Chains A and B, each alone.
Chain A
Amino acid sequence: MKITYREALRQAMHEALAADSRVFLMGEDVGKYGGSYAVSKGFLAEFGPERIRDAPLSELGFVGTAIGAALGGMRPIVEIMTVNFSLLALDQIVNTAAVYRHMSGGQFSVPVVVRMATGGGRQLAAQHSHSLENWYAHVPGITVLAPATVDDARGMLRAALADPDPVVIFEHAMLYPMEGELSPDWEKADLRTAKILRAGRDVTLIAYGGTVWKAQEAARQLAAEGIEAEVLDLRVLRPLDDATIMASVGRTRRAVIVDEGWRTGSLAGEIMARIMEQAFYELDAPVARVCSAEVPIPYAKHMEGAALPQAPAVVAAVRQLLAKA
């Protein structure tokens, strides 16, 4: 069955709201407006204003409120319009949600799910386009997800809500209208493993969220040249699935990481370090990465395009690795 990413997310939330009265959705314009990305359209009429709760513009306040509600026995899903705005709520996520279980000696878990849009590509400029997944993935105590496929958009929320600890879900803004084939596997979505989306023997392209599709496009172009790229979708940014990464790199002996975050201090850098630590002797070439240019994401289309990782840059990086080998 073909379905959009947005519809997959919608179905996942609908299912959760219908199945468990402890689940509620809270955020700016999730109700009357229908969600800034229209994911919760129609929910207000169906579930009412108590459970589809429009929050005032107060990211710190309502994210903290969701955390408190989770401590109080509810299963809140809180939506933040974009990762840029989530910085106003960072305190509650990092200083409260992430630490409460450990700091209380295991007494208090925080079963909150925080969803937010991330990433560039829509000419929204430097305050709506950034990719700060790594800021969250840096923090122990939370689980960080980046669903890239309709299967994960449909399946990850259920697992996230079943998790007794805080989960942060990044939805790449370019993916909402994307159509995909929903496979029966969506029900098996877990919060631990990476997934090989395309098998190949020559190089592993490691990507997450929006860059998964840039990597797929690069793999198609490379295939035309006879280069078989494996595409690995990280899916889970914390904890990273080292085993799947190392197994793939061990087979292909080369890796390119495609990361929409800025290169400096990036998740790509972390993955490279892990490959050095765990698979150095399996490598036939230095590990490479394609990241966003180190500038605030600009408005003009050509400039934005130049700032974000694109398939041709991935193709070029692969060619260079193979040329070196």
Chain B
Amino acid sequence: MSDPERKPVGIPAPEALALLRDMVRIRRFEERCADLYGQQKIRGFLHLYIGEEAVAVGALHALGPGDNIVATYREHGHALARGVPAGAIMAEMYGKQEGCSRGRGGSMHLFDAKTRLFGGNAIVGGGLPLAVGLALAEQMQGGSRVTAVFFGEGAVAEGAFHESMNLAALWKLPVVFCCENNFYAMGTAIERSESQTDLCAKAASYNMKTLRADGMDVIATQAAMRDAVAQVRSGAGPVFVEFQTYRYRAHSMFDPDLYRDKAEVERWKTRGPIHNLSNRMKAEGSLTEEAFLAIDAEAIKEVDAAVAFAEAGTWEPVEHLAHDLYTVNGVETAR
């Protein structure tokens, strides 16, 4: 592993600060989620992104407000970085109707039409064809939106991945396939599931440009994503980006995490994405410890406010159970 502190930040300080701020926001938000899960305020599946923040933050900061995002069940970071209000996300996890999906989806299904976040999809690989379709719609309508779809390396073994890659490359669709390779799909390490563990080699077989980025370095993830987006927006077809990263926490709150070596986890923790950037900024004089603490305090304040918003939220009336099943009259009208 190279020493990231030696690498120059290489982007203007305000931009780097914005990246840092979003990573800290996500970290503080999710740490609180874990606490709230312990208090049973949040139930169901909860998949934390802690350790992987540089991927969503770098990638989303390389996209424009009109672009489309399709994410997985591990998408709190994507929603926060995209600008979905923390309160609406937290309320969703509480199951309150002020949540960004009215409490219908929970942690795994964050939706936000305003920022073009097309879900939180909890079918592994399920978001990929959807993203291809969004891109097809864009191409057919002559627009310039790019669709970014996020998925784990586990999804690469799914048929949906291969069918989607083929369709997107065949029709030169404006999609960025963002593979968040954290090396484990639940308890299954990549060597135990992939005949070819070089995911870029696999993707390249679809006649698609591929990029690999250090997913622990937000400057690198943003740079790779900028490259990918520029190529895709120019009409040259889809790009596959592999972000190599690591989740510090268990797969979900139900996971006893028995399949990884603790030393491996500790090794990756030395490369933490937040300190990776903050240390480099400090070394270059664009960040002081006080400024860093202020960012942290601000993030904690935002999370406090989000929790208060969620706590004050209301339950959707049970009579609304079938609302929004259909658009016309909301419910099945022949009943």
Interface residues of A (CB under 8 A from B): 24, 50, 55-56, 58, 60-74, 76, 91-92, 95-96, 100-109, 140-141, 143, 163-165, 192-193, 236, 238-243
A102 touching B118 in the complex, CB below 8 Å, given contacts A55-B167, A67-B130, A96-B130: no
- Chain B residues near A58 (CB-CB < 8 A): 159, 163, 166-167
List of 3 A-B pairs having minimum Cβ-Cβ separation, nearest first: A68-B133, A64-B129, A72-B137
- Chain A residues near B90 (CB-CB < 8 A): none
Partner of A165, one of B123, B133, B322, B326: B326
* A68-B136, A74-B141, A105-B99 given; 19 more Cβ-contact pairs under 8 Å: A60-B160, A61-B159, A61-B167, A63-B129, A64-B160, A64-B164, A69-B137, A71-B137, A74-B137, A76-B133, A92-B129, A96-B121, A103-B101, A104-B105, A105-B102, A140-B325, A165-B327, A192-B333, A236-B334
A108 touching B133 in the complex, CB below 8 Å, given contacts A92-B126, A239-B333: no
- Chain B residues near A61 (CB-CB < 8 A): 129, 132, 159-160, 163-164, 166-167
Tell whether, in the assembled complex, residue B113 and residue A107 are in contact, meaning their CB atoms are under 8 Å apart. Answer: yes
Distance to closest chain A CB from B18 (angstroms)? 27
- Chain A residues near B137 (CB-CB < 8 A): 68-74
- With both beta carbons as reference points, the residue of chain B lying nearest to A111 in the complex is identified as B327
- Chain B residues near A165 (CB-CB < 8 A): 326-328
Tell whether, in the assembled complex, residue A103 and residue B126 are in contact, meaning their CB atoms are under 8 Å apart. Answer: no
Tell whether, in the assembled complex, residue A74 and residue B166 are in contact, meaning their CB atoms are under 8 Å apart. Answer: no
- Chain B residues near A143 (CB-CB < 8 A): 326
Q: Which chain B residues numbered 127 to 175 have a C-beta less than 8 Å away from chain A?
A: 128-138, 140-141, 159-160, 163-164, 166-167, 170
Q: Given the complex of chains A and B, what is the CA–CA distance between A56 and B168 in angstroms?
A: 11
B192 at the interface (CB under 8 A from A): no
Tell whether, in the assembled complex, residue B119 and residue A104 are in contact, meaning their CB atoms are under 8 Å apart. Answer: yes
Tell whether, in the assembled complex, residue A106 and residue B334 are in contact, meaning their CB atoms are under 8 Å apart. Answer: no
The size class of the interface chain B forms with chain A is 35 or more
B215 at the interface (CB under 8 A from A): no
B238 at the interface (CB under 8 A from A): no
B251 at the interface (CB under 8 A from A): no
Tell whether, in the assembled complex, residue B159 and residue A60 are in contact, meaning their CB atoms are under 8 Å apart. Answer: yes
Q: Across the A-B interface, how many residue pairs have beta carbons closer than 8 Å?
A: 165
- Chain A residues near B103 (CB-CB < 8 A): 105
A239 touching B332 in the complex, CB below 8 Å, given contacts A68-B129, A105-B103, A140-B325: yes
Distance to closest chain A CB from B308 (angstroms)? 21
Tell whether, in the assembled complex, residue B113 and residue A108 are in contact, meaning their CB atoms are under 8 Å apart. Answer: yes
Tell whether, in the assembled complex, residue A72 and residue B166 are in contact, meaning their CB atoms are under 8 Å apart. Answer: no
Tell whether, in the assembled complex, residue B68 and residue A104 are in contact, meaning their CB atoms are under 8 Å apart. Answer: no
For this complex, 29 residue pairs linking A to B, each with C-beta atoms less than 8 Å apart, are A56-B170, A58-B163, A61-B132, A61-B163, A63-B129, A64-B126, A64-B129, A65-B130, A68-B137, A69-B133, A71-B134, A72-B68, A72-B133, A72-B135, A72-B136, A74-B141, A91-B126, A92-B126, A95-B123, A101-B324, A105-B99, A105-B100, A106-B102, A106-B324, A108-B111, A163-B327, A164-B328, A238-B332, A240-B334
Interface residues of B (CB under 8 A from A): 68, 97, 99-105, 109, 111-113, 118-119, 121, 123, 126, 128-138, 140-141, 159-160, 163-164, 166-167, 170, 322-328, 332-335
Tell whether, in the assembled complex, residue A105 and residue B104 are in contact, meaning their CB atoms are under 8 Å apart. Answer: yes
- With both beta carbons as reference points, the residue of chain B lying nearest to A162 in the complex is identified as B328
- Chain B residues near A104 (CB-CB < 8 A): 101, 104-105, 109, 111, 113, 119
Tell whether, in the assembled complex, residue A64 and residue B132 are in contact, meaning their CB atoms are under 8 Å apart. Answer: yes
Distance to closest chain A CB from B162 (angstroms)? 8
Tell whether, in the assembled complex, residue B167 and residue A62 are in contact, meaning their CB atoms are under 8 Å apart. Answer: yes
- Chain B residues near A107 (CB-CB < 8 A): 101, 111-113
A72 touching B325 in the complex, CB below 8 Å, given contacts A60-B159, A104-B119: no
- Chain B residues near A66 (CB-CB < 8 A): 133
